[in-house]
Structure 1
Amino acid sequence: MIRFMFMCIFLREVSCMDSLRFLAVGDWGGIPFWPYDTPIETKVAKQMAKVSEMYQSSFNLALGDNFYSNGVTDVDDKRFKETFEDVYHYDSLMNPWYIVAGNHDHYGNASAQIAYTKRSERWNFPDYYYSLNFKIPGGDGVDIIMIDTVLLCGNTDHDIVGDQPHGPENVKVAEDHWAWLDTQLKSSKAEYLLVAGHFPVYSIAEHGPTKCLTNRLKPMLNKYNVTAYFCGHDHNLQHISSSESGWTVDYFVSGAGNIVEDNKSHERDIPAGSLKFFWAKLIDLGGFAVVEATSKNMTMSFVDGFGSTLYSYTMYSRKS
């Protein structure tokens, strides 16, 4: 943990008060039977709490698959307490959580997760998709566009390993979502523009690139100079950096909050030379992402379940 404080104070030559910091974790949703969590989930939660306390992080992004393996039934489902409240119970994790739904959430009642926003002071899931803006001390800010990749692309088959989305259940709902997303990206003037969803655009693991997103979302990310795309779905940590259309978009998979799977079956399905980092070490008990943004740069670091920094990468303002 001291390594984070060192990074914040000395490597940046600024104090922690001069930056915006947040955590991102995906596929963290426990198990559907007692004890309703896994050793990986509880270990990751403990390390997130330590980082959040020392690093003074402002909020957390939950990147989907919030409740395995069939979501929740209604707003009174005991899983909210057993898999979320009782696991992420630390004082430093009582800051805001911003949620998107994953495929497993849509197998159940995803609208109940939205409704839970009114039950919890820290659970923020106002709609299937929404936008966030955060001020950076001494700078403009960070825009984060939270999207629902199941509404956009359709869901996967629960019983088929590595299955691709089958197309949106409601085409009009999907098209409205795409139109909203285009407007949000086009209008952003932020120094850093992030998009967060569940399905990956690029991944080398079990599910691989999501065809729907590579065909339609990727051109939008390039067109509007998006800084990075954060997702889960594959149960490991990845950084893929792809330079296309004159702009480099960084793709971060942070899907190791509850399960770790070492799978590289789609390594040849991403642009050559674009894989910068891959981690899936079960013995290290999961991992998550830590992001720090200043007016000069944004650094993403992956951290494992023992609090070790696995990898760090720095991105620069869209205005530089």
Structure 2
Amino acid sequence: MAVYSGISMVLCLWVGVVFGVCLASAIVELPTFHHPTKGDGSLSFLVIGDWGRKGDYNQSQVAFQMGEIGDQLAIDFVVSTGDNFYDNGLTGEHDDAFTESFTDVYTAESLQKQWYSVLGNHDYRGDAEAQLSSHLRKLDSRWPCLRSFVVNTETVDLFFVDTTPFVEEYFNSPEHVYDWRGVFPQQTYTKNVLNGLEYALMKSTTKWRIVIGHHAIRSAGHHGDTKELVERLLPILRTYNVDLYMNGHDHSLEHISDDESPIQFMTSGAGSKAWRGDVTMDRKGVSFFYDGQGFMSVQLVETDIGIVFYGC
């Protein structure tokens, strides 16, 4: 158990792994980033989700703590689990909200690393393609955001999955308009996402495998489980012996164990506005739940993964 000044709680978890091999049903190549590890093969990064509120709702306080921990751990990069800009994404690639919610908030020296980001459902309510634009990378070189992609390292492969198009209720919403450019037809798109993930998992030769999406597969929080991901994504994670699934969407920090495999479900969606008291703790497998603001760190070596939750 570690103690850090200004951090209200920490939880450390060490996870084991079992591996297997299975063939993917189709070859769909996902874009791949190659990120170097430290000289000893170790890697560390932070995970934050549901954050972009121009510094409000404690976003700035969380960013400050991230900078402190990022410096202590000498992090290699940051992972964003989506809902990057509230309430309705960006209006376009020239929207000042990008600078006001990202560049002007995460100013610590330790956070001037690559931010690997996926889209959340709130991002799809705006100009989703703006977040994928190369123009934003010119404004801030830390910002590679794609729909689905892979980050390859010597020690771990991270597989980012665009989960919003899997959720049926968004396609029938009378309340919100979503930017589905590049997604229709929905079933073809989601099938290709899963085929691309399977092919990437099949090729992976690293010790550890982590899959990242916006929506939870398992959650004790407000939104709970995402049934479409339980039905379509979870079987793939089990087949390919994925170690961790990380998500945002619920504004909380969570650790839940799978009841049929070694997979550990990690929610880090507490980057700004949190929902107090909205929890279902009677479900099986819940090891940790915190419904305030915060983030998560991940440290990997060849033999172990260390997860620490930081509440602010």
Q: TM-score range by the shorter chain?
A: 0.7 to 0.9
Partner of 1:312: none
Deviations 1:216-254 (A, max 9, x none): 11111111000000000001111001131xx31000010
The TM-score normalised by the length of structure 2 is: 0.81
Query: Counterparts of 1:59 and 1:155 in 2: how far apart (Å)?
Result: 33
Query: Counterparts of 1:294 and 1:197 in 2: how far apart (Å)?
Result: 23
Give 1:151 deviation, angstroms: 2.5
After TM superposition, list the pairs within 5 Å mapping 1:1-320 onto structure 2: 3=3, 18=40, 19-30=42-53, 36-115=54-133, 116-125=136-145, 127-135=146-154, 141-154=155-168, 156=170, 157=173, 159=175, 170-244=186-260, 247-264=261-278, 266-267=280-281, 270=283, 272=284, 274-281=285-292, 286-305=293-312
Give 1:264 deviation, angstroms: 4.4
Query: Counterparts of 2:168 and 2:67 in 1: how far apart (Å)?
Result: 34
2:278 and 2:291 in contact (8 A); partners too: no
SS of corresponding position for 2:52 = coil
Structure 2, unmatched stretches of 5+, are 15-37, 177-182
2:103 and 2:140 in contact (8 A); partners too: no
Structure 1 residues 172, 250: closer, same or farther in 2, change over 3 A? Answer: same
Structure 1 residues 50, 221: closer, same or farther in 2, change over 3 A? Answer: same
1:240 and 1:276 in contact (8 A); partners too: yes
Query: Counterparts of 2:175 and 2:280 in 1: how far apart (Å)?
Result: 20
Q: Which amino acid aligns with 2:272?
A: N
Q: Which amino acid aligns with 1:45?
A: A
Give 1:4 deviation, angstroms: 6.7
Deviations 1:131-159 (A, max 9, x none): 00122xxxxx1000011101333563485
Give the number of aligned pairs. Answer: 271
Query: Counterparts of 1:184 and 1:63 in 2: how far apart (Å)?
Result: 19
Give 1:17 deviation, angstroms: 6.4
Measured on the aligned residues, the alpha-carbon RMSD in Å equals: 2.5
Answer 1 or 2: which has greater helix percent: 1
Query: Counterparts of 1:110 and 1:197 in 2: how far apart (Å)?
Result: 16
2:57 and 2:273 in contact (8 A); partners too: no
1:103 and 1:155 in contact (8 A); partners too: no
Deviations 1:98-118 (A, max 9, x none): 010000000011110010234
Q: Which amino acid aligns with 1:124?
A: P
Structure 1, unmatched stretches of 5+, are 31-35, 136-140, 161-166, 306-320
Give 1:178 deviation, angstroms: 1.4
Q: What is the percent sequence identity of the aligned residues?
A: 33
Query: Counterparts of 2:187 and 2:63 in 1: how far apart (Å)?
Result: 37
1:71 and 1:106 in contact (8 A); partners too: yes
